Amino acid sequence: MIAACDGAAKKNPGPAAWAWVLADPAGAPQRWEAGPLGVATNNVAELTALAELLESTDPAAPLEIRMDSQYAMNAVTKWIAGWKRNGWQTASKKPVANKDLVVRIDALLDGRDVTFVHVLAHQVDGDPLNALADAAASTAATDQQAAGTAHGSDGFPEPGPQTEDKPRTARPRKKAAPRAGGGAVIKAKFPGRCSHCQSRYDIGEKITKIARGWGHEGCRETAPAT
């Protein structure tokens, strides 16, 4: 089976939702589902989307999962081993964010044949399944209503216009106050994409300087040191 999952949060945190799309081996969409999360972060939405997809598919069937969230993928495939060794603490001895979701996904992956594929979001001629999941999650975040094949939805979500994924770097305020353990935290003057987890942030959302550019304040903890 081939699938894509995605999460959306209109602010971070803000109205959020998850979604997944399941296709046949040829890549033709077969069914989809989306669900609201109330107020949540983008990372919570991304992890929830992955958990919901795993719970809704046959664990005996090999599964390819396409995602645009490097944070969610790395959390359950790379970082989790170190977190377990450290007693669910980060390298800086802080509690792992979203631990309950990570533990839930880890249990769902146990014994399954799952391949993760990272895809770039909002690309011209990008991955079509990712575009469907993104559209479903975005609509559910706005409407806060469950939708999908099991809910009687006709057809599949309609992706919006796609553009090259070239976020503009937010301009820092001249007198942004530094925060303990990292750089200044500012409010984005332009929409963009986190340089670490690749999830979007909106105008007015708090961002900070992290590895390779600007991103969510919450991603500073998991981003590799520059």
Which of the residues are catalytic? 6-7, 46, 68, 122, 134
CA distance 98 to 117: 22
Q: Which amino acid is at 197?
A: C
Structure tokens at 31: 């069914």
User: Which phi and psi (to 5°) does residue 46 adopt?
Assistant: -65, -45
CA distance 68 to 52: 16
DSSP letter at 183 equals S
Other beta carbons less than 10 A from residue 206's beta carbon: 14
Angle at the Cα of 119 from the Cα atoms of 116 and 121, rounded to 5 degrees? 140
Contacts of 220 (CB under 8 A, 6+ apart): 181, 182, 208, 210
Dihedral sign (CA 187, 124, 78, 96): positive
Question: What's the farthest any 2 CA atoms get from each other in the chain?
Answer: 56
Packing angle between helix 128-143 and helix 42-55, nearest 10 degrees?
A: 110
State how beta strands 147-148 and 185-187 pair.
unpaired
